[in-house]
Amino acid sequence: MRIDVVVPSTRPALLARLRAALPRRLPGELVVVAAAGLSPAAARNAGWRRSAAEWVAFLDDDVVPAADWVDRLVEDLRGLPTGVAGSQGRIRVPLPADRAPTDWERNVAGLERARWATADMAYRRAVLEELGGFDERFPRAYREDADLALRARRAGYSLRRGRRLVVHPVGPAGFWVSVAKQAGNADDALMDALHGPRWREQADAPAGRLRAHAATVAPSLLAGAALLRGRRRSAAALAAGSLLGCARLAAERIRPGPGTPDEVARMAVTSLVLPYAAVAHALAGRLRHAGLARRRRRLGAVLFDRDGTLVEDVPYNGDPRAVRPRPGARSAVRRLRAAGVPVGIVTNQSGLARDLLSAEQVARVNRRVDELLGPFDVWQVCPHAPGDGCPCRKPAPGLVVAAAAALGVAPRRCAVIGDIGSDVEAAAAAGARAVLVPTPATRPDEVARAPVVAPTVTAAVAALLGDAP
């Protein structure tokens, strides 16, 4: 089993320390990515794409692996079922023994409880390929790893905790670090758009403080409006309410800390600014990703072509035993069901008109597809030959229109995923969206004309849901 270790780094001293902590013999290669100018997601993507290993283990350059880390890594990954996409290591953050930790130290110590943190996380390379890797729309750390874990679990994979250990020392931090960290609220807005408002629960992430911050900011905005209207007493009362919220935040941050003058001053000053920074970044993120959230809501159903898209194309197949799902088909359909999107199949079966297949044979094959990938919410089958001039055979829109009607969804809210040009043309004729997933049977001109092309069915679904990296 080959395992490559990917380390994005911009800090030579930390990288040298990590290299010294790793044993000389690795079960693969150490892939170091020069991460200057790259987001954490982009740097990790660059790393795993350079790897040909079965597993890719990600480490941050500021961790120190335990002496037995490599042996434990191999033990954690050896023999895992194919349905397990990744394994997380354990993270320990050393805190001072002679005093209470500072606000920043407590923040870093949260890594010990974090789920699926890429400070030490290994993924199957095939799963990274299937899911498209880390989403580079996340410009900062901490949410790109939760997003990938959610996509993996929704695609039907599981994630495990391993026994290997890394130590994550607390690095230095400036006076305003807590305020700067509020930029992550914009990434939380992207998570809302991609995964819905319950993503924290699904990703085992702690609840944020945004509502409390908003409750602190709102009175000050109302105070400004009252002052413009000449209502000074109301403005003063509202401003006092906002200051009370800042004072409460400062007290909550000071209470568990060391109580030194420097720490108290830092908490008092930054707590006056922190709620406003948090709300501003959250609003900016919501505005930036509002179109993405609307696109997800508009998707009413996804209709798949059968042969060559969901299952291997066996010409005029009437044998259920010959039905073999295409790579990624199961996870793609599961991903749509998890998102609450109805799924259906629209398929041409001209073998019926040519007397190469019986209706019972087609029904048995379709039942087998349902057993392996379904059940599907709607099936629409065209039994006609190309020269029959029927309105249902793709590239005509009939199958798509009929499937949409059966689901109670307007065709314009549907999307069709197929492997040849007639699938795309049928969608366009019905007013639906289309994604082409080429196979060796797809002609180059069909690829060139397709409005959207995806390498896999899973990637096609991710593009339609708006969570394609």
Q: What is the CATH number for 373?
A: 3.40.50.1000
Of 269, 293, 317, which marks where a domain is finished?
Answer: 293
350 and 441 in a common domain: yes
Do 105 and 8 belong to one domain? yes
H-helix or E-strand spanning residue 7: strand 3-9
Q: Per-residue pLDDT tens for 219-244?
A: 999 999 999 999 999 999 999 999 99
Residue from 76, 120, 305, 467 carrying the catalytic annotation: 305
**Locus of tokens 């001053």:** 265
Structure tokens at 162: 């391993």
User: Are residue 11 and residue 155 in the same domain, yes or no?
Assistant: yes
pTM of the full structure:
0.74
Nearest-angstrom CA–CA distance, 88 and 110: 15
216 in the same domain as 279: yes
pLDDT digits (tens, 9 = 90+) for 8-32: 998 999 999 999 998 778 899 999 9
Q: Report the distance separating Cα 305 and Cα 319, nearest Å.
A: 18
Catalytic residue among 4, 307, 419, 423: 307
pLDDT tens readout for residues 95-113:
999 999 999 999 999 999 9
**For the chain, what is the radius of gyration of the CA atoms?**
27
Question: Across residues 180-199, what is the average pLDDT?
Answer: 90
Domains identified in the chain, total number: 3
Query: In the predicted model, what is the mean pLDDT of residues 172-195?
Result: 93
- Tokens read off for 146: 């939760």
Indicate whether 134 and 274 sit together in one domain: no
Confidence category of residue 201, pLDDT binned at 50, 70, 90 = confident
285 lies in the same domain as 197: yes
Q: Structural domain of residue 288, as residue ranges?
A: 174-293
pLDDT-derived band at 468, boundaries 50, 70, 90: low
For residue 118, the domain's CATH number is 3.90.550.10
Are residue 149 and residue 285 in the same domain, yes or no? no
Do 162 and 188 have their domain in common?
Answer: no
276 lies in the same domain as 203 = yes
Q: Is 237 exposed, middle or buried (0-12, 13-18, 19+ CB in 10 A)?
A: middle
Q: What is the pLDDT of residue 147?
A: 92
On the question of pLDDT at 420 being above 80, the answer is yes
Among 293, 319, 343, residue at a domain's last position: 293
Shared-domain flag, residues 456 and 359 = yes
- Model pLDDT, residue 336: 87
Active site residue 305: yes
Q: Give yes or no: residues 285 and 191 share one domain.
A: yes
Are residues 11 and 156 part of one domain? Answer: yes
**What average pLDDT does the segment 189-199 reach?**
86
- Name beta bridge partners: 166: 65, 91
Which range among 144-158, 315-329, 364-378 shows the weakest confidence by mean pLDDT? 144-158
Give the pLDDT confidence score for residue 469 in this predicted structure.
57
Residue finishing a domain among 260, 293, 326: 293
Q: What is the pLDDT of residue 154?
A: 77
Distance CA 69, CA 89 (A): 9
| Displacement of CA 63 from its chain's centroid (Å) | 25
Give the per-residue pLDDT at 65.
Answer: 95
Partnered with residue 325 across adjacent β-strands are 311
